[in-house]
Chain A
């Protein structure tokens, strides 16, 4: 259908994935592979930035469910930020806001990771 791309960058203490375009059954495996490789390399603090994502299908949503359990077991998290309203609606209908931290801005996610890091260090 249409294009999808992922850019990976590091913004301590998190790995940031900027996803662009259309996330559907065809492109979901790309994201899955990317997330898997980050987690294999020990990156458990993951922020997915949805700012330039135009469309997400049910298969695209499923990708996040694959890894969330494993990441949380390692005391990390996958946080979703900067969603366009119609993308958020899709997540919202499924109850994702109760499962994931969905935030307005990337900075909040980074700050939350830092806080969590401090807590765990302090604790």
Chain B
């Protein structure tokens, strides 16, 4: 590009001495025109080739400053040059001497470069706030300018008159300039000072553009003559760029000028919006509410121009504590709240307090002598969360009438944001606490899991499986395997009324009692009676424990069963299933005098293929979506149909049945199941007594 430009410039300079008119041979003329156009085109491309950045990444203020200073300075340079340079032309617009020729060409080249650069800056400004029409308008302007140049060239060469066409085209281009500069709202973001400077700079640029337009383009003006020397028509590049500057800066200058009186208000609004959004952003960043409150008081003070700002928060008893402050001392606060006058007033004025002059406010006049040095006007707005007042935001000023209605509105907006921040911090804190409770519960769950047997008793021809799942983290269900005084294995299943933590505590207590008593009892009935005796009176009136104890004699398959209010035991014998419910009160309901005689014990004999199902009421009361309970029947069916040789498989069938019935409904009660399968005839054998599982902590 540079090379093309240079070569065409050289050729062009070589043929400069020939004038532009029909007297020149066509070959020389076309060469000359081609060279000039080549030069202009390459210059244009060189200057405009910088890619246009997206408007949001550009600092509008900086761009405007650069553009306006370039346009003004370059216009002045051209103006000075055209006046100062010793250019003299003959009446036929030919250079009178060689110096004029050289200087004239230099001046016109400079003029073209400057004009193109001015267009570049203005173009950038236009693109800063483009609309969907902007690009189309830019194209029209470029075509219009080319047209102007062509007409002029045609006029000079042919001697024809094109004044009317040229005027129409110029008018059209000016209209396009006006159209393309319509969108300029970014000016609003200027501060008052920037607006003032911008107005002055715009008008200065306009004045110089007008002066150059007035002095450079008349018939016989040296600038026009010089540019004709280069290539007739080039003057329209400069003319258009000056017109563009004029249109643009007149518009900008006037709109800045009009905005000047309201600039202060706009400045303030911008500050408000910025500080509020900055505060909102802080809420999400800062978990430390103290830091946030500190930021808030600082911002309020800056934006409202208050002398001091502070925030009081109420604790649970309604006592106010200053949690964040800016520029106010303890003693000053003390003076302000002498005799509780202020807090009393605040309690009445629930929607905030707006004191223009402390000395004239009847309720606060008593404070005035002490506080007049630092607080003569005051705004106090409540911090509210869901209609509940959680604190107050105060701003004071040492002068009367220092706050305006806008300040009150702003403080209210700040108060809302601060309230949200406080709530956020509180929620964060409570979620921490919840986490802690959760982990404590997890510990409790692990502890309770440890209370259940870790191993299953091993007896030849007797397969046992067990399962327990609390509805919540911990529950009141219990099963265990202990050894009685006569060495019989005793299977225990129990359910403490209620669920959750209270049930879990009783469950642990029951486990301890069972372990302590088992080795001294000779029958399941005796064990249950002893447990009732230990528990009765040590348990809430409304709480009780249901329990079934099952003692198995491994030498002959005899089972004795006692039931204390617990769900029935299901026994599959041959093809039939029987529900066994020997009489017995729940443990803890009645005293030994009633409990002991009522408790029955029944016996059954286990044969090969027999199955026993023990469960808590969480099983038969498992509910589906419509609160229908599972009941006993499906359990009986499972037991009847089960032919597997593993107690674990029977257990799995029951668990699956519960899951199918509930169909995704959350388990609402603790579920415990013990299954027992007799895989062969129990006979005299060496018994490995089930180890009594150590009581945790014992």
Contact = CB atoms under 8 A, between A and B. Distances in A.
B668 A1 contact: yes
Contacts of A65: 541-542, 544, 589
Contacts of A62: 497-498, 540-544
Contacts of B627: 2, 22, 54-55
A103 interface: no
Contacts of A99: 585, 589-590
A93 B583 contact: no
B568 interface: yes
Contacts of A2: 627
A93 B598 contact: no
A35 B498 CA distance: 19
- Among B541, B542, B566, B668, the one with the most A-chain Cβ atoms within 10 Å of its Cβ is B542
A57 B495 CA distance: 12
B610 interface: no
A123 interface: no
B510 to A, nearest CB: 14
A59 B495 CA distance: 11
A94 B589 contact: yes
B629 interface: yes
B546 A93 contact: yes
B337 to A, nearest CB: 44
A57 B617 CA distance: 9
B565 interface: yes
A93 B581 contact: yes
Interface string B483-509: 000000000000101111000000000
Interface string A75-106: 00000000000100010011100110000000
B629 A86 contact: yes
A95 B542 contact: no
A10 to B, nearest CB: 26
B272 interface: no
Contacts of B617: 58, 90
A54 B629 CA distance: 11
B498 A94 contact: no
B498 A93 contact: no
A66 interface: yes
B541 A93 contact: no
A55 to B, nearest CB: 7
Interface centre among A32, A69, A98 (most CB of B within 10 A): A98
Contact of B565 (A57, A69, A95): A95
Contacts of A94: 544, 546, 565, 585-586, 589
Contacts of A55: 627, 629
A25 interface: yes
A61 interface: yes
B669 interface: yes
B546 A66 contact: no
Given A1-B668, A66-B541, A25 B499 contact: yes
Contacts of A54: 627
A95 B497 contact: no
B543 A93 contact: no
A63 interface: yes
Given A25-B499, A54-B627, A93-B568, A63 B586 contact: no
B38 interface: no
Interface in B534-574: 540-544, 546, 565-568
Interface in B313-329: none
A93 B585 CA distance: 8
B585 A59 contact: no
B382 interface: no
Nearest to B668: A1
Nearest to A2: B627
A59 B589 contact: no
B1 to A, nearest CB: 82
A98 to B, nearest CB: 6
A98 B599 CA distance: 12
B584 interface: yes
B210 to A, nearest CB: 86
Contacts of A95: 565, 583-586, 589-590, 598
A121 B435 CA distance: 63
B158 to A, nearest CB: 101
Contact of A57 (B543, B544, B583, B669): B669
Interface in B581-600: 581, 583-586, 589-590, 594, 598
Interface in B209-236: none
B590 A61 contact: no
Contact of A59 (B498, B541, B565): B498
Contacts of A63: 542
A59 B497 contact: yes
A98 B567 CA distance: 17
Nearest to A29: B542
Contacts of B584: 95
Contacts of B668: 1
A33 to B, nearest CB: 13
Contacts of B581: 93
A58 B585 contact: no
A24 B687 CA distance: 44
Nearest to B568: A93
B586 A66 contact: no
Q: In this complex, which of A1, A28, A61, A95 has the most chain B Cβ atoms within 10 angstroms of its Cβ?
A: A95
A62 B431 CA distance: 34
Contacts of B621: 57
A80 to B, nearest CB: 15
B598 to A, nearest CB: 6
B546 to A, nearest CB: 7
Interface in A20-70: 22, 25, 28, 32, 54-55, 57-59, 61-63, 65-66, 69
Interface of B: 495, 497-500, 540-544, 546, 565-568, 581, 583-586, 589-590, 594, 598, 617, 621, 627, 629, 631, 668-669
| Closest 7 pairs (CB-CB, A-B) | A62-B542, A95-B585, A58-B497, A94-B565, A59-B498, A94-B586, A66-B541
Given A59-B498, A98-B594, 15 more contacts: A25-B498, A55-B627, A57-B621, A58-B495, A58-B617, A62-B540, A62-B542, A62-B543, A65-B542, A66-B541, A66-B542, A86-B629, A95-B584, A95-B598, A98-B598
22 contacts: A1-B668, A2-B627, A22-B627, A28-B542, A58-B544, A58-B546, A58-B617, A59-B542, A61-B497, A62-B542, A65-B589, A86-B629, A86-B631, A93-B546, A93-B565, A93-B581, A95-B565, A95-B583, A95-B586, A95-B598, A98-B594, A99-B589
